[in-house]
Amino acid sequence: MRGAVLVAVAATIGNMLQGWDNATIAGAVFYIKREFSLETQPTLEGLIVAMSLIGATLITTFSGPVSDSVGRRPMIIASSVLYFLGGIVMFWSPNVYVLLIARLIDGFGVGLAVTLVPLYISETAPSEIRGLLNTLPQFTGCVGMFFAYCMVFGMSLLDAPSWRLMLGVLSIPSVVYFALAAFFLPESPRWLASKGRMEEAKHVLQRLRGREDVSGEMVLLVEGLGTGADTTIEEYIIEPDNEIAGDPDHVEKDKIKLYGAGQGQSLVAKAVRGQSMLGVMSRTGSMAVRSASMMDPMVTLFGSVHEKLPEMGSMLFSHTGSMLNVPEQPVNDQWDEENLHREGDHHYSDASGGESDDNESNPISRRGSILSPSGADMTAGDAVHASALVSQSVLHVENLPGQHPVGAAMTQRPKSAKGGPSWSDLLEPGVKHALIVGVGIQILQQFSGINGVMYYTPQILDQAGVGILLSDLGISSESASFLISGLTTLLMIPSIAVAMRLMDIAGRRFLLLGTLPVLLASLVLLVLANTINLGSVLHAIISTVCVIVYFCFFVMGFGPIPNILCSEIFPTRVRGLCIAITALTFWFGDILVTYSLPVMLNSVGLSGVFGCYAFVCAIAWIFVYMKVPETKGMPLEVITEFFAVGAKQSDMST
């Protein structure tokens, strides 16, 4: 696991450079306007800032499909090279037109980093800390912004601040980024599996997890190569093997036999005929959300997994090796899957901890969400009611010798790895449903105004009169706005640390629903502060506090979570393609908000701008409540299968 953390930290240097770039252009634009006399040309001023976003949008149009073809790592390396070239050209820029070209090149690097780093982290991180690691891009981005604002503030105190130096410094850390990307980062194991390079995928997983036996996760990777269209939910009763050992019918068919190494005891899972309890809950609503009749059935399906329902005594596991959870027990916590006999089909799994290459049993990897009481004990005579995700296995096991074919099968090139992503895959119900969630949350994030406010924070605070707060210290209004922006960014860093801690505990959905009302309240206060005459000092204090609160709560929820969700909810087969679609939505919204903000400030003022953003935040809360599921702690493959099952339930309910 230590390897996965180090890889994630190295990859997120690209996001640190994005934060650095955002802060330096916010400060440098003051001096660019003076040198090129742009005070009366707000459109050109906005274009200088937005040109980076245009570059990010252009490269995003093909970055996803190209990353599906050549890999995630080469695209991250390309991002570091583009950052370097952009910094060099910005440092040299003799006129505004060369500066626009430099900003375009820089935008290419930003686009690749912002699009691919969350995807890369999701595909390399263990599911139990995936949310934490995927919050690192937001954290390192804020760290980059803080140091950049410190630099801009220091340079603003000089007699002749150089905006070229402010922007050109970017090329120095980009060299470090290139070295780490080229010589330290491995390729994504899920991408390697999608190309049939199973041995390479296994070696990468061993390095990332710090252990030799990764057979269970290898099965996950292979089983996740489809789009989940054939996934269903079935019910099972899990009992000690001696309960039904004398029944030949159960021995020969409709059973999964689980055994513990050296324990002398085994379990058997018997199929329960009839309608799935979890499927019923996804349509009728779980106990906590049964009254929310308008809520998407997919959301209630995910929610029912994360709720503890002691009276139902249920847990979740999967035939595909996606999930197998048993309550914590001091004795019987080492279970592996011996065989699975199904009528007419071949379903094999490793249950996230199956046979290693030497056919030794190993503890299962504890991932997923337990619905049964956490303190439940499976002793003689006890039984556990479990729900299982079931899909047709893609492992080549039919012609492999031996009693335990999974270890050999997982190194074979799966049939689903022979073809690349297809546009027709986007029409699968689960993929379509995931795209609605991904595109919707990206649109709402951008139109909540964060990037527009962030790019122009110095000017916004300057108009709010923050210079008054620091005038007694002899600091100019411009320098004061840079200082306030740096302090604001500094306060955002512990807020992101809190989000990192809560992301895999409270969950993505909880953080969104909890932080969006705070964003709405801070924006409403900004509207009132800019509408009512409160006096210059009180107006400056309220505006500054509200902007700080807005930023701090944004980075706890609406900042990192849209990218985290988009990197989790799509199948491996089409993940790059779908990420490109959602990233394009992100960049188009970013361009529109950033480019229009100077015009909006001149036309409707700060109160009108923040009023629009407040309305969007209210819409966003409703969307999250109705459409966005909870994905914490679930392997990527299980999330995509749940989307497939949930989409079917949604279609049935309409």
Both structure tokens of 554? 């944004």
Q: How many other CB atoms sit within 10 Å of the CB of residue 244?
A: 16
Residue 258 phi, psi dihedral angles, 5° rounding: -120, 140
Q: How many percent of the chain have pLDDT more than 90?
A: 31
Give the residues across from 271 on adjacent strands: 236
CB 4 within 8 A of CB 124: yes
Give the span between the Cα atoms of 639 and 322, in whole angstroms: 10
pLDDT tops 80 at residue 80: yes
Strands of 349-432, DSSP E: 384-390
Residue 615 phi, psi dihedral angles, 5° rounding: -60, -40
Q: How many percent of the chain have pLDDT more than 70?
A: 65
Higher pLDDT, 22 or 335: 22
Q: Which DSSP symbol is given to 262? A: T
Please give the model's pTM, rounded to 2 decimal places.
0.77
pLDDT tens digits along 581-590: 998 898 888 7
**pLDDT band with cut points at 50, 70 and 90 for residue 638:** confident
Give the span between the Cα atoms of 599 and 593, in whole angstroms: 10
Residue 249 phi, psi dihedral angles, 5° rounding: -65, -40
How would you label 393-404 residue by residue, b for 16+ Cβ within 10 Å and e otherwise?
Answer: bbbbbeeeeeeb
Class of residue 65 by CB neighbours under 10 A (exposed 0-12, middle 13-18, buried 19+): middle
The full set of domain ranges for the chain reads 2-185+428-653, 230-415
Both structure tokens of 570? 């799509």
Least confident stretch, 114-123, 129-138, 568-577: 568-577
Give the residues across from 317 on adjacent strands: 324, 388
pLDDT tens digits along 194-242: 888 889 999 999 999 888 888 778 877 776 676 555 566 666 666 766 5
CB 187 within 8 A of CB 13: no
CB 572 within 8 A of CB 193: yes
- Mean pLDDT, the chain, rounded, equals 75
CATH of region 2-185+428-653: 1.20.1250.20
Q: Which DSSP symbol is given to 315? A: E
Give the span between the Cα atoms of 370 and 351, in whole angstroms: 15
pLDDT tens digits along 545-577: 888 888 889 999 999 999 999 999 998 888 888
How would you label 192-203 residue by residue, b for 16+ Cβ within 10 Å and e otherwise?
Answer: bbbbbbbebbbe
| 186 contacts: CB under 8 Å, gap ≥ 6 | 7, 73, 124, 204, 207, 208
Give the span between the Cα atoms of 607 and 546, in whole angstroms: 13
Both structure tokens of 282? 């996804």
pLDDT tops 80 at residue 20: yes
Give the span between the Cα atoms of 366 and 356, in whole angstroms: 17
CB 619 within 8 A of CB 478: no
pLDDT tens digits along 240-283: 665 444 454 444 455 665 544 334 456 666 666 655 555 555 44
Residue with tokens 């370097």, as numbered in its chain: 84
pLDDT tops 50 at residue 326: no
pLDDT tens digits along 484-529: 778 878 888 999 999 999 999 999 999 999 999 999 999 998 888 8
pLDDT at 554: 93
| 351 contacts: CB under 8 Å, gap ≥ 6 | 216, 258, 317, 318, 321, 324, 335, 336, 337, 364
pLDDT at 564: 93
Q: If we measure between CA atoms, which residue out of 406, 452, 392, 493 comes closest to residue 608?
A: 452
pLDDT at 411: 52
Give the span between the Cα atoms of 272 and 544, in whole angstroms: 60
384-390 vs 314-318, strand pairing mode: parallel
Distances in whole angstroms, Cα of residue 111 to Cα of each of 135, 270, 591: 18, 50, 12
- CB-facing half-sphere around the CA of 78: CA atoms within 13 A: 19
CB 268 within 8 A of CB 238: yes
Distances in whole angstroms, Cα of residue 363 to Cα of each of 217, 315, 331, 336, 414: 12, 18, 12, 7, 26
CB 163 within 8 A of CB 28: yes
